[in-house]
Amino acid sequence: MRASRTAPTGVERRFGDDELIVTKTDPRGVITYANEVFLRVSALTEEEVVGRPHNIIRHPGMPRGIFDLLWETLRGGSEMFAYVVNLAADGAHYWVLAHVTPSVDAQGTLLGYHSNRRVPDPAAVAAVRRLYDDLLAVEAQHSRPADAVAASRAALSAQLAAAGRTYEEFVWSLTPEGAAA
């Protein structure tokens, strides 16, 4: 579990525009599969990630409120697109535009989650950083994690409501495809 104990170095790592990071987890978020791109970018080995919680790559600069929204959306049976900054085992960070979907069997039983991540547009990352910095500042005002998450979600909801959009609409407004629409 190296990445969770690693301090961020400030070094940004990128992967190819033509590459996808792919992981699969069980219903609890424990990694069952990671592709070569994930392993290379995260600076982890297959042995270090399979059987570990996906938050092994959680970056401290990623607001808890966004993850709370992600899990709420997934548990509701819906997919979600989100901008995420991750922490590699060597302290480097990398931004992704994640698409996370629940995986179900023919009877609708949840088997786990599937996530594809691609390189985000740099202008989108700049906009997301501003929002995430605001949310992190709100979270920092609370010593209890549950209070920090609740305050972050409230701040996110307020900012989105002021802009007249959902998080998904915010995400798509930042993509080149969404901005052109």
Task: Give residue-wise pLDDT tens across range 162-180.
Answer: 999 999 999 999 987 655 4
Total-model pTM? 0.90
**pLDDT at 8 (0 to 100):** 94
CA trace torsion 132, 133, 138, 140 (10° rounding)? 110
In tens, the pLDDT along 49-74 reads 999 999 999 999 999 999 999 999 99
Q: Which CATH class is domain 2-180?
A: alpha beta
Please say whether the beta carbons of 102 and 31 come within 8 A: no
Burial class (CB in 10 A: 0-12, 13-18, 19+), 32: middle
CA distance 95 to 74: 21
Q: Tell me, what's the pLDDT at 1?
A: 42
d(CA 125, CA 118): 12
Instruction: Calculate mean pLDDT across residues 32-38.
Output: 98
Report pLDDT for 177: 67
pLDDT at 140 (0 to 100) = 97
Report, in angstroms and rounded to the nearest whole number, the Rg of the chain calculated over CA atoms: 16
Domain edges within the chain: 2-180
